[in-house]
Structure 1
């Protein structure tokens, strides 16, 4: 049985515009992000959404609220934890060797005090198993962040996790993924 996942990145924030690594920092949508979120209602009007899940941050909550009223926060949809790099721009990160190691091998390397892709994969896999079991043959919206959504697309849509750093899903962007339990093996 197949579940349709509407993978939705939260609308734009000022931190996105400034190109900051914002993982666990709870920032609001800016005016553009609010407009992007409002546009989602029309974009998904033809879908019968059975459940709306979002990470526990205000930027995803504000985006998800445009899709319906029954919202379910789930920590497993949170952005990567950027540790010591949280709220910094690429240029502000002083540990260049560590940064390059993370870009080259994010599966094994994490920002200092942060999270690896392996850790992200474990929590997203747990979430996917739960969703597929709870919502067979249904459409589910997942409002999350660039990192988790790019990982899901690289792993399940493209079947190539090396695409993680090159895939792009802009703020307010979305993709549709159809999965069954067999796809998770």
Structure 2
């Protein structure tokens, strides 16, 4: 099976702002980037996407037949959504920075929570054993899949995997 993981393109959110499941848009112009991505992907694949608009727009450009799945959403940053990272109180952010894998964001998720829901989705698509699968998703989602695939520790995922906006990661399963 071929699995294509595509990270959405750059968002309209200014640098330094925390966003995860906030449904933010992508920067224009993006059609040329979408066209370039489309040329690199198989046209006979099963297409899944996060329902957040930054992924949904890409998926809809690529296909009319998309399965949207909430498990592909980015990490839920709870109370921190759309706040400047520098404005998050130190007593809240420091425990998370020390252990982002296990510590949950207030009213949000930990990286382990994200990993678990993405892992459930990943197991399901492996069982379906489709020939080619495309996922339009997010940085955290891709890091989770790569950690599952390579059997690496979550705490190492940010040093091991650098995923750029609009990047395609291909895995052969």
Question: TM-score w.r.t. structure 2 length?
Answer: 0.88
CA distance in 2, matches of 1:154, 1:121: 9
- Which residue matches 1:160? 153
Of the three residues 136, 144, 147, the one matched with 1:151 is: 144
Secondary structure at 1:59 match in 2:
helix
Q: Structure 1 residues 79, 33: CA separation in 2 closer, same or farther (over 3 Å shift)?
A: farther
Residue 20 (structure 1) shift: 2.2
Report the equivalent of 2:67: 72
Q: By how many angstroms is 1:121 displaced?
A: 1.8
Q: Give the length in aligned residue pairs.
A: 172
Kindly report which structure 2 residues correspond to 1:2-13, keeping only aligned pairs within 5 A, or say none.
3-13=1-11
1:169 to 2:163 alignment: yes
34 and 164 in structure 1: CA distance in 2 versus 1, 3 angstrom threshold: farther
2:115 to 101, 118, 121: 121
2:38 matches 1:41: yes
1:111 equivalent in structure 2: 105
User: Could you say what the CA RMSD is over the residues aligned between the two structures, in angstroms?
Assistant: 1.9
1:14 to 12, 31, 37: 12
Query: Structure 2 stretches of 5 or more lacking a match?
Result: none
| CA shift in 2, pair 1:96/1:61, >3 Å | same
